[in-house]
Structure 1
């Protein structure tokens, strides 16, 4: 469900979905050992986890960001609910805070600074 931003949020959603598709279909296979099936390896776990955070539903992302900022000690468990296990709590919070739909600023910094 899109909130008030309508078309802008749809573009952002499609953008994160395209990034995730490109990572899974192009980047991961490019770095896969030739003797392994792509489905059985995870060469870029941090990047894949970042994609999961970027593709969370707005309400889930907002809720998770609140938990991570107010209760960082329980961050690992909160992230595990969304199958995010390869990013520390502080970096997950930074990624969520940089989502355009959750950020307070007009031009957030790049998420790629984390990699």
Structure 2
């Protein structure tokens, strides 16, 4: 089974291409894998707009029956998971930059409060 949808618009307004497929692990055991692609602007080396793989989510065989037949919900869940991950990375980067600025600004005095 292979399903693909484009565009899929998230709550944040981002547009993605989403593919959902069932993969056979072995011995009659299956899992779902969801891939999220984002549009990439053309470059000098590539004049056509392409989709770049930005996130992959696998359900594992233990969750296969939980998601079976719920492919829309699986796609939504994966996009929300991806966007939460990106938001966390942005917050972490912001904290990192603030820490760097504070360190540079610090006069080196340990007794300073």
Query: Which bin holds the TM-score, normalised by the shorter protein?
Result: under 0.3
| Structure ID, larger Rg | 2
Q: TM-score, normalised by structure 1?
A: 0.27
Q: TM-score, normalised by structure 2?
A: 0.27
Structure ranking higher in strand proportion:
2
Select the structure with the greater relative contact order (CA < 8 A; seq sep ≥ 6): 1
Structure ranking higher in helix proportion:
1
